[in-house]
Amino acid sequence: MADYEASNRSLSGKVALVTGAARGIGVEISRKLAALGAHVIVGARDLKKAQVVAAGLRAHGGEASALKLDVTREEDRKAAYEAIAAAHGKLDILINNAGILLDSPDGGTPAPRQPSQTLPSVLGETFEVNFFAPIFLTQLLLPLLQRSDAPRVVNVSSIRGSLAHLSDPASPVYPVRALGYDTSKAALNAFTILIAEELRGTPIKINAIHPGWVKTEMGGGQAPVSIEEGARTAIRYATLGEDGPTGGFFFLDERLPW
């Protein structure tokens, strides 16, 4: 098994942007990146919440700044580009973590509206956050990423975006059938493949990851994985060495089926 462990790699001098970083897995990803020495830009749609997280990272000796970033708002995305360009002139790590689940109250509850009844608003809003936003943000920030000598993009997807799992009655995700969420993550996976293949042969590495079923507001109380554990896969693919993969879909070291 390849060793993609982050533990001994220092991120000193690196600049990382984490979206949806005011709670859940995004906070923990931010903490770990800061602990590894990166300057972490904590992105959240509520600036005050981002400031609280960034202050906490600095209180623990990390380097961090706060950014108001509703990923669905073009003006916020453009302002993010301007702010990062002015302050750092480059971006080394982009974690597209912000996400929503509208089909059901949490990840442990089957969608009350099955695919034949999913509301257009659920599909539309979910795709805005989970699919269009990471595409637009990545496209916009690509010139800054390309100023890094080892740019890494992690798209926080889900095993529920795996067509192989959705169609396998033996898969734990098979009975859930959350049309909005599941298809938005499948589409995010397709974006990951297409842009990674476009940029293959350049230093950038872009991968989709599944964090596990994590005990956050989205994951719900039945989720078996702690938030700390839930950040591990994102960190691993944010800190890949030159020999690491691109255009893949992973949970820890395991390559997941599309």
Under the criterion CB under 6 A, does residue 254 sit at the interface with ligand NAP? no
The number of beta carbons lying within 10 Å of the beta carbon of residue 47 is: 15
Instruction: Confirm whether 237 is a catalytic residue.
Output: no
CA distances for 119 relative to 20, 151, 168, 226, angstroms: 25, 38, 25, 32
Q: Rounded distance, CA 137 to CA 97, Å?
A: 12
Contact segment (CB under 6 A) with ligand NAP among 77-85, 91-99, 116-124, 169-177 equals 91-99
Distance CA 47, CA 213 (A): 28
By CB under 6 A, is residue 54 in contact with ligand NAP? no
Cα gap 71→206, rounded to integer Å: 19
Q: Of 10-18, 83-91, 96-104, 170-178, which segment contacts ligand NAP by CB under 6 A?
A: 96-104
Q: Which residue, 187 or 214, has its beta carbon nearer to ligand NAP? A: 214
User: Stretches 24-32, 85-93, 165-173, 250-258: which one binds ligand NAP (CB under 6 A)?
Assistant: 24-32
Q: Is 134 in the site for ligand NAP (CB under 6 A)?
A: no
- Nearest residue (CB) to ligand NAP, 203 versus 220: 220
Q: Which x/- pattern over 110-129 shows residues binding ligand NAP (rule: CB under 6 A)?
A: -------------------x
Identify which of residues 13 and 221 has a Cβ nearer to ligand NAP in the complex.
Answer: 221
Work out the angle at residue 161's Cα, subtended by the Cα atoms of residues 232 and 100, and round it to the nearest 5 degrees. Answer: 75
* Tokens standing for residue 230: 């839930």
- Per CB under 6 A, which region of 4-12, 97-105, 136-144, 236-244 contacts ligand NAP? 97-105
8 A C-beta contact, residue 187 and residue 179: no
Tell me the closest approach of the beta carbon of residue 155 to ligand NAP, in angstroms. Answer: 9
Q: How far apart are CA 172 and CA 125, in angstroms?
A: 25
Q: CB of 131 within 8 A of CB of 188?
A: yes
Please report whether residue 44 would count as binding ligand NAP according to CB under 6 A. Answer: yes
Judged by CB under 6 A, the chain residues 157 through 216 that form the site for ligand NAP are: 158, 210-211, 213-214, 216
Tell me how far apart the alpha carbons of residues 121 and 237 are, in angstroms, rounded to a whole number: 33
Q: Which stretch of DSSP H or E encloses residue 205? A: strand 205-209
Taking a C-beta distance cutoff of 8 angstroms, is the pair 71, 46 a contact? Answer: no
Catalytic residues: 174
Binding region for ligand NAP (CB under 6 A): 19-20, 22-26, 44-46, 69-72, 97-100, 107, 129, 156, 158, 210-211, 213-214, 216-219, 223
